Amino acid sequence: MHSRNISKKDQTKDFDNLKSDYFLRKLFDILKENKSLSIIKYNKKLQKRLNISIDNYKECSKIEIELKLADYRYDGKFISLLDEEKEYYHIYFDNSKEEIKRNKLDYNEEVKKIKIIIDYQVKSFKELFGYCYCVGSIIFKKFYRNNITDMSYMFYGCSSLKELNLTNFNTNNVTDMCWMFFHCSSLKELNLSNFNTTNVTNMSSMFSQCLSLKELNLSNFNTNNVINMSDMFYGCSSLKELNVFSFNTNNVTNMKCMFLRCSSLKEINLSNFNTNNVTNMSYMFDGCSNELKNKIKEQNKNIVI
C-alpha cells in the first residue's frame, strides 16, 4: 500500500481553507463582539476570505443618535457640520426613511425627532452639537466605535438640553474633553459612570456654567494623564457636593478658577490632591462659601485659597 505524499503547497492550501472556514470566521465574530472591526476595514483579502463586505463594517461600526427638540420652537442648528462633512452624516426626520442633507431647522418646522447615523470615517466629535440650542434631548443609541479622539466643545452651549443619555458612549481613546459640556445650563443630571478617561489630557472648562447640575459623581474618572483642569467646574452654582476624591492630579499644571462660583458647594474632599506641579491656582475657590474654604484648608495645606 502506497502512502500518499502531500506536498507543502497542498498542506498550505488545506490550512488556508481551514483558516477561512473556521479561524477567520471565529475572528470576525470576536472582532464584532468587541467592536474592533477596524482591523478588516481596508483588508480586501481578509474580507474576501470571510465573505464579508465593507458594508458589514459600516453597519457594525456605526454610531446612531436620536435627538428630540426642545419644547419651544425656533430656527437653529441641531447638529454642527461643515459642508464637506455632510456625506458622513445620515439624517432622518421623525423616523422617515428619506435622508436629508441639511443640519438646520426652519422656524416652527414640525419635527419631533431626528435620527443621525454617523459613518466610520468620522474620528472627531469636536463642536458636534456646538450652540445647538434647539435640542432638548440627545440619546446615543448605538456607539460601535472607539476611534473618536476629540470630544472638545461637543455639547458647547446646548442651553435647552435637559436629557443627555450617554449610556452607550465610548470614550476609550479620547484625549481632549475641554469645554465638552460648557453652558449646558438646563441639564440637572449627568451620568458619566461608563466614561473611560484614561487617555484624556485636557479637562479645562469641561463642566463650566452647568448652572442647573445638582450632583456629579466622577468617582470612576481616571485623571492620571490630565494636565489642564482650569475652569473645570466654574459656575456650577447648583452643585452641593462633588466627589473628586479619586482624582490623580500628579500631572496637572493648571487649576485656575477650577471651582470658581460653586456657590452651593458644601462638601468636597481634596485631601489627596497633589499640587506639586501646579503653576496656577488663582481664583480657584472665589465665590465659594467661607465654610467650604475653611474645610479645604484643613484637608490640604498645599492648596492656595
Q: What is the pLDDT of residues 185-214, one digit of tens each?
A: 999 999 999 999 999 999 999 999 999 999
Q: Which grid cell sits at 139?
A: 440619546
Kindly state whether residue 90 falls inside one of the protein's structural domains: no
Query: Dihedral (C-alpha) 193, 195, 197, 203: value to the nearest 10 degrees?
Result: -80
Kindly state whether residue 297 falls inside one of the protein's structural domains: no
pLDDT digits (tens, 9 = 90+) for 245-260: 999 999 999 999 999 9
Kindly state whether residue 234 falls inside one of the protein's structural domains: no
Q: What pLDDT does 35 receive?
A: 67
Cell 474618572 found at: 221
Question: What would the mean pLDDT of 258-272 be, rounded to a whole number?
Answer: 95
Cell 442648528 found at: 77
CB-neighbour burial class of residue 97 (10 A; exposed 0-12, middle 13-18, buried 19+): exposed
C-beta separation of 255 from 282 below 8 A: no
Q: Among residues of the chain, what percentage have pLDDT more than 70? A: 91
CB-neighbour burial class of residue 121 (10 A; exposed 0-12, middle 13-18, buried 19+): exposed
pTM of this structure:
0.85
Kindly state whether residue 233 falls inside one of the protein's structural domains: no
Question: What would the mean pLDDT of 7-22 be, rounded to a whole number?
Answer: 52
Cell 438646563 found at: 186
Rg of the chain over Cα atoms, rounded to whole angstroms, equals: 25
Kindly state whether residue 271 falls inside one of the protein's structural domains: no
Kindly state whether residue 34 falls inside one of the protein's structural domains: yes
Kindly state whether residue 147 falls inside one of the protein's structural domains: no
User: How many structural domains are present in the chain?
Assistant: 1
- Burial string for 214-243 (b: 16+ CB within 10 Å, else e) reads eebebeebebebbebbbbbbbbbbbbeebb
**Alpha carbons within 13 A on the beta-carbon side of 104:** 8
Kindly state whether residue 91 falls inside one of the protein's structural domains: no
- Which residue range(s) make up the domain with 36? 8-57
d(CA 159, CA 181): 10
Q: Among residues of the chain, what percentage have pLDDT more than 90? A: 68
Confidence label for 3 from pLDDT (cuts 50, 70 and 90): very low
Average pLDDT over all residues of the chain: 88
